């Protein structure tokens, strides 16, 4: 029974809307734990009373239960209708089979009751028999004394011969030579006893035979040819002698041949009748089996419909428990996908996007700002290193639309044409920048193996992204470069920062060289390099490859690159050392910061982002 289960994609399905707090928490968990955090987040929020996820799950479950109830009613109705159809079909089939069985039974009964007439009609259809039946009855021969004596003698001899045959069979049976059943009489005699209607036909043929034989040359030729073809040499000789010498003997032998022919015809006809009767018995038995099969099929169909209904109801019960959570998970994922926070790759795997990382950066920045004194301002605006100059004027080029002053433009339109509600090109006022200042920040973070301790790599990522967002919020034209380093060094985008995993050694010198390459050609008014690391320089670069194992040479390489920064104009290095374990780490960091004429900040992972934001705020103000 094909019945659709409830579909949660129906139009009446309630939406799932995360609160701002839940969305921020989800973004943060996706950043920290990866795509698998989405399912855990939905499962945990479902258990929280009052959460938007829990409310959405309950609404979906109520909707699904209501749909399941309607489907259950439809299943009952559909099952009753299908069962009624199956019963009607079975009843029609059973009635048809019963009618065929009745017809076969009646035919069988007719074979039994009318066998004599059937055999008689079959006999009368034979050419020789038709010749005899069409002839008039022959005159009855007068029985004289000698005829009666001959008849009595023949009867006596027949009785003696029958007794001898029975005695012989008894002897053979006693000696074990006769393996067959008891001998039976001629089939014709049995037929005459069973079928009185046939006896009259045979008696009439006997009565007409003599006259037909004597008057019909065709009958004589047919019987003579049959005797010549079927009889043995001795019987053929007797028949030929009787035809020439004894009319009575000739007539008697012809009558015996005719009777044998009748016996053969009767045996064949009866065999056909018995065959038809056996076929009728088989047909009746087959019809009964088919009718029993219909009944079994109906019962099986009833069980099938019942079990299918039960299975569907069980499926709906299970879906009522699991479907809401799955559907809410899909809707949350769909919402995140529409927002561009997650995406699916070609293999169907969920991926974190740069937009989600950017959103996490906003959340991280907001979280850190809540804990900073109010004097540290990070509101949007020009970097006040050298304050920019602006003028408010009419629109000159299409590119200036992005600097539209909405309030001034609406006021100009209202004063110019108060009755029209349209904004014309002459009404548009823009804030055109005459002079301005920009900032170039390079955020370099250590991702060597030691950064895995105490979640230092997570703290570094969070701090880098929070400061990235602070710089971009201040002015979209500000340039921010992200660089990760271990034994090797490479610039990164937001997604690569998120994907960074601790490995390798600390190549501080190469990190400073890459940062210097990025800022030395920059035209920004101020260039700041933030270097986040937790340890001593352990590697250096030789022939384009990172080499580890020579700490003095690695430190010298780092000091040389730091000294190169000091020769650049408007470049500031901020060396941030995380949780120094030994005094030698602090001394090396002081030397690097001193060589670049920069600043050293020693902090721990919990305070890293705040210390960087405070330093950045101080630098731009």
Interval 85-110: pLDDT, tens? 888 888 888 888 888 888 888 877 77
Report the DSSP pairing between strands 439-446 and 526-533: parallel
Segment 516-560, tens digit of pLDDT: 999 998 888 899 999 999 989 999 999 989 999 899 999 999 999
Give the residue from 420, 435, 450 where a domain finishes. Answer: 435
Q: Are residues 261 and 312 in the same domain?
A: no
pLDDT surpassing 70 at residue 74: yes
- Give the mean pLDDT of 430-443: 77
Comparing 330 with 532, the larger pLDDT belongs to 532
Give the dihedral of Cα atoms 401, 407, 411, 414; nearest 10 deg: 80
Distant-in-sequence, close-in-space partners of 579: CB < 8 Å, separation ≥ 6: 454, 456, 534, 604, 605
The two tokens of residue 388 are: 């920019």
CA-CA distance, 605 to 464, in Å (whole number)?
Answer: 12
The two tokens of residue 29 are: 């968990």
Helix ranges (H only) for 216-246 are 217-230, 233-245
Least confident range of 112-116, 378-382, 467-471: 378-382
pLDDT of residue 482: 96
pLDDT surpassing 60 at residue 9: no
The answer to whether residue 282 sits within a structural domain is yes
Least confident range of 5-19, 27-41, 197-211: 5-19
Average pLDDT, the chain: 80
Least confident range of 288-302, 313-327, 504-518, 538-552: 313-327
Most confident of 79-93, 147-161, 343-357: 343-357
Q: Are residues 429 and 466 in the same domain?
A: no
| Cβ-contact 427, 416 below 8 angstroms | yes
CA-CA distance, 263 to 251, in Å (whole number)?
Answer: 18
CA-CA distance, 439 to 479, in Å (whole number)?
Answer: 6
Q: Are residues 476 and 609 in the same domain?
A: yes
Residue with tokens 């008697």: 252
| Cβ-contact 512, 562 below 8 angstroms | yes
The two tokens of residue 52 are: 């938007």
DSSP state of 584: H
Helix or strand (DSSP H, E) at 251: helix 247-338
Distant-in-sequence, close-in-space partners of 283: CB < 8 Å, separation ≥ 6: 100, 104
Q: Strand, helix or coil at 479?
A: strand
Distant-in-sequence, close-in-space partners of 429: CB < 8 Å, separation ≥ 6: 392, 393, 394, 395, 404, 405, 408, 409, 412
CA-CA distance, 506 to 481, in Å (whole number)?
Answer: 19
pLDDT surpassing 60 at residue 379: no
Segment 229-283, tens digit of pLDDT: 777 777 767 767 766 667 677 777 777 777 777 777 777 777 877 787 888 888 8
The answer to whether residue 370 sits within a structural domain is no
E-strand ranges in 99-235 read: none
Q: Are residues 444 and 587 in the same domain?
A: yes
CA-CA distance, 228 to 212, in Å (whole number)?
Answer: 20
**Angle 512-521-542 (CA atoms, 0-180°, nearest 5)?**
35
The answer to whether residue 202 sits within a structural domain is yes
Q: Are residues 238 and 325 in the same domain?
A: no
pLDDT surpassing 50 at residue 332: yes
The answer to whether residue 11 sits within a structural domain is no
pLDDT of residue 468: 94
The two tokens of residue 147 are: 């005829």
| Cβ-contact 364, 372 below 8 angstroms | no
CA-CA distance, 514 to 544, in Å (whole number)?
Answer: 12
Q: Are residues 122 and 229 in the same domain?
A: yes
CA-CA distance, 295 to 113, in Å (whole number)?
Answer: 33
The answer to whether residue 132 sits within a structural domain is yes
Q: Are residues 578 and 477 in the same domain?
A: yes
Helix ranges (H only) for 339-435 are 354-370, 406-416
pLDDT of residue 449: 93
| Cβ-contact 369, 469 below 8 angstroms | no
Comparing 359 with 426, the larger pLDDT belongs to 359
pTM above 0.85, yes or no: no
The two tokens of residue 478 are: 């500000």
* Percent of the chain as helix, strand, coil, to the nearest 5: 65, 10, 25
CA-CA distance, 62 to 426, in Å (whole number)?
Answer: 57
Q: Are residues 554 and 448 in the same domain?
A: yes
The closest of 174, 170, 163, 257 to 209, measured between CA atoms, is: 257
Q: Are residues 299 and 285 in the same domain?
A: no
pLDDT of residue 119: 64
Q: Are residues 277 and 317 in the same domain?
A: no
CA distances 154 to 186, 240, 352, 406, 438, Å, are 19, 22, 122, 146, 151
The answer to whether residue 6 sits within a structural domain is no
The answer to whether residue 599 sits within a structural domain is yes
| Cβ-contact 212, 134 below 8 angstroms | yes
CA-CA distance, 450 to 487, in Å (whole number)?
Answer: 12
Domains of the chain: total: 4
The closest of 277, 276, 288 to 101, measured between CA atoms, is: 288
- Give the mean pLDDT of 597-610: 94
Give the residue from 318, 342, 366 where a domain finishes. Answer: 342
Q: Strand, helix or coil at 481?
A: strand
E-strand ranges in 339-478 read: 342-344, 350-352, 389-394, 429-435, 439-446
The CATH number given to whatever domain includes residue 496 is 3.40.50.410
For residue 333, the enclosing domain spans 20-100+294-342
- Give the mean pLDDT of 127-137: 65
Give the residue from 435, 469, 502 where a domain finishes. Answer: 435
Q: Are residues 443 and 422 in the same domain?
A: no
Q: Strand, helix or coil at 537?
A: coil
What percent of the chain is predicted at pLDDT more than 70?
77
| Cβ-contact 325, 430 below 8 angstroms | no
The C-alpha R_g of the chain, in whole angstroms, comes to: 59
> Beta partners for 439?
526
CA-CA distance, 246 to 263, in Å (whole number)?
Answer: 26
Q: Are residues 326 and 418 in the same domain?
A: no
CA-CA distance, 255 to 248, in Å (whole number)?
Answer: 10
Report the DSSP pairing between strands 489-492 and 479-485: antiparallel
The answer to whether residue 382 sits within a structural domain is no
Distant-in-sequence, close-in-space partners of 588: CB < 8 Å, separation ≥ 6: 536, 537, 555, 558
């Amino acid at each position: 029974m094909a019945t659709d289960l409830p579909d949660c994609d129906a139009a009446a399905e309630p939406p799932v809307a995360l609160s701002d707090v839940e969305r921020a928490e989800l973004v943060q968990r996706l950043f920290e734990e990866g795509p698998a955090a989405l399912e855990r987040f939905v499962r945990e929020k479902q258990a929280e009373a009052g959460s938007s996820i829990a409310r959405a799950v309950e609404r979906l479950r109520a909707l699904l239960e209501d749909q399941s109830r309607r489907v259950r009613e439809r299943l009952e109705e559909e099952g009753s209708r299908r069962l009624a159809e199956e019963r009607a079909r079975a009843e029609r089939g059973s009635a048809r089979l019963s009618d065929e069985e009745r017809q076969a039974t009646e035919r069988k009964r007719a074979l039994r009751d009318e066998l004599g007439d059937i055999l008689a009609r079959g006999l009368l259809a034979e050419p020789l028999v038709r010749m005899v039946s069409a002839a008039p009855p022959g005159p009855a021969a007068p029985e004289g004394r000698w005829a009666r004596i001959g008849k009595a003698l023949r009867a006596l001899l027949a009785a003696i011969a029958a007794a001898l045959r029975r005695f012989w069979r008894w002897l053979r049976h006693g000696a074990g030579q006769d393996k067959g059943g008891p001998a039976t009489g001629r089939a014709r005699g049995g037929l005459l006893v069973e079928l009185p209607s046939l006896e009259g036909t045979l008696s009439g043929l006997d009565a007409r035979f003599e006259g037909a034989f004597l008057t019909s040359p065709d009958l004589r030729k047919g019987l003579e040819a049959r005797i010549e073809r079927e009889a043995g040499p001795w019987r053929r000789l007797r028949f030929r002698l009787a035809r020439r010498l004894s009319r009575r003997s000739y007539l008697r032998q012809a009558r015996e041949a005719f009777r044998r022919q009748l016996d053969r015809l009767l045996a064949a006809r009866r065999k056909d009748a018995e065959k038809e009767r056996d076929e009728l018995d088989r047909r009746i038995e087959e019809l009964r089996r088919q009718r029993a099969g219909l009944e079994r099929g109906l019962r099986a169909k009833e069980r099938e419909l019942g079990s299918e209904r039960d299975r569907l109801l069980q499926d709906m019960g299970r879906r009522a428990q699991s479907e809401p959570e799955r559907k809410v998970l899909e809707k949350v994922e769909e919402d995140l996908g529409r927002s561009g926070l997650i995406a699916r790759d070609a293999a169907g795997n969920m991926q974190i996007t740069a937009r989600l990382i950017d959103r996490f950066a906003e959340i991280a920045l907001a979280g850190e700002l809540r804990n900073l004194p109010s004097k540290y301002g990070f509101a949007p605006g020009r970097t006040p290193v050298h304050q920019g100059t602006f003028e408010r004027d009419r629109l000159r080029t299409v590119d200036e639309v992005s600097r539209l002053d909405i309030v001034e433009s609406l006021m100009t339109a209202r004063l110019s044409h108060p009755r029209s509600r349209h904004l014309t090109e002459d009404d548009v006022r823009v804030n055109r920048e005459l002079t301005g200042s920009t900032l170039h920040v390079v955020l370099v973070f250590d991702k060597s193996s030691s950064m895995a301790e105490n979640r230092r790599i997570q703290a570094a990522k969070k701090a880098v992204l929070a400061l990235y967002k602070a710089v971009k919020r201040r002015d979209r034209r500000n340039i921010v470069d992200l660089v990760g380093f271990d034994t090797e060094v490479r610039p990164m985008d937001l997604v690569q920062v998120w994907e960074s995993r601790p490995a390798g050694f600390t190549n501080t010198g190469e990190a400073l060289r890459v940062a210097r390459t990025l800022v030395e050609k920059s035209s920004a008014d101020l260039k700041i390099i933030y270097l986040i690391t937790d340890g001593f320089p352990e590697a250096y670069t030789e022939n384009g490859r990172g080499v580890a194992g020579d700490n003095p040479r690695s430190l010298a390489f780092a000091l040389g690159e730091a000294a190169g920064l000091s020769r650049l104009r408007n470049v500031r290095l901020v060396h941030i050392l995380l949780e120094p374990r030994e005094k030698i780490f602090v001394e090396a960091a002081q030397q690097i910061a001193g060589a670049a004429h920069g600043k050293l900040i020693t902090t721990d992972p919990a305070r890293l982002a705040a210390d960087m934001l405070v330093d950045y705020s101080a630098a731009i103000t």
